[in-house]
Amino acid sequence: MLYPPRCLGCGGMVQDEHGLCATCFAETPFITGLVCDLCGVSLPGTSDIAVQCDDCLSLGRPWTQGRAPVRYDGVARRLVLGLKHGDRHDIVPMAADWMVAACPPALPPSAIVVPVPLHLFRLLSRRYNQSALLAQAVARRLGLEFCPDVLIRHRRTQSLDGKSRDARFAELSDAISVRVRKADHIRDRPILLVDDVMTSGATLAACAVACQSAQSREIFVTVLARVAKAD
């Protein structure tokens, strides 16, 4: 009675905690139908086989499958920004449920869940890694091992906002690696990389290449939101 449940999107009254009101839910751009098998972006038409978008065909993603439950727009964008910059940890349970529902279908039960790392200075200023919060919740729901310290961002990269695709990849080059003491742990193990948003995929690619250098097995990707044009 003192703290009634509120919609995570607009703050209005709702019946259950950690959810959206009917209006916000209807305005959330969920990704449905045919999707790219590597990045999860929505594609037109239907297909009985796995398909890839033009970007993934041209880039050659260093992972096996990737998925995202929502497009980075509207209510979903507000939720991501609230989690990333507004200390909105209350968004994590609902976001993790969405990510699990949209998880890469070929993900093996022996996978290790690894979040995309923040540089130490950014972690200290933000006080938490939103990708690690999501990864921990996803791992718990899937019953998988959660390893938050496998990857390290040893070079402080500039903000990727507004940068071109090529500039994003150049900025992340050699910025992320596997911690030496964790290399043996991920060798011959499948990896599920977790992040909040995928734009060009440069950060996830850097993480995947680092895991491959440590001889991990196939790599899967799941993010909360995918930056893409509306259908």
> What are the pLDDT digits (tens) for 35-77?
999 999 999 999 999 999 999 999 889 999 999 999 999 999 9
* The pLDDT of residue 22 is above 80: yes
Q: What is the mean predicted confidence (pLDDT) over 201-207?
A: 94
Q: What percent of the chain has pLDDT over 90?
A: 77
* Dist CA 11 CA 9 (whole Å): 6
* The pLDDT of residue 120 is above 90: no
* The pLDDT of residue 212 is above 60: yes
Lowest mean pLDDT among 38-47, 73-82, 153-162, 203-212: 153-162
Q: Which residue has the tokens 């995929």?
A: 201
The answer to whether 155 and 78 are in contact (CB under 8 A) is: no
pLDDT of residue 2: 57
Could you tell me the pLDDT band of residue 198, with boundaries at 50, 70 and 90?
Answer: very high
* The pLDDT of residue 133 is above 60: yes
Q: Which two tokens stand for residue 3?
A: 């703290």
The larger pLDDT score, comparing residue 126 to residue 53, is at 53
With H, G, I as helix, E, B as strand and everything else as coil, classify residue 155: coil
Q: According to the 3-state scheme, what is the secondary structure of 49-104? A: CCECCHHHHHHCCCCCEEECCEECCHHHHHHHHHHHHCCCHHHHHHHHHHHHHCCC
Q: What is the mean predicted confidence (pLDDT) over 163-178?
A: 82
pLDDT of residue 161: 72
* The pLDDT of residue 229 is above 70: no
CA distance between the termini of the chain: 42
With H, G, I as helix, E, B as strand and everything else as coil, classify residue 149: coil
Rg (C-alpha) for the chain, rounded Å, is 17
Q: In sequence order, which residues have a C-beta less than 8 Å from that of residue 104 and are 6 or more positions away?
A: 64, 65, 66, 67, 192, 220, 221, 222
Could you tell me the pLDDT band of residue 156, with boundaries at 50, 70 and 90?
Answer: confident
Crossing angle (nearest 10°) for helices 202-213 and 165-172: 40
The pTM assigned to this predicted structure is 0.92
pLDDT of residue 231: 44
Q: Look over the chain and give the mean of its residue pLDDT values, rounded to a whole number.
A: 92
pLDDT of residue 168: 80
Q: How far is CA 142 from the centre of its chain?
A: 15
Q: What is the mean predicted confidence (pLDDT) over 101-117?
A: 97
Count H helices, E strands: the chain?
9, 8
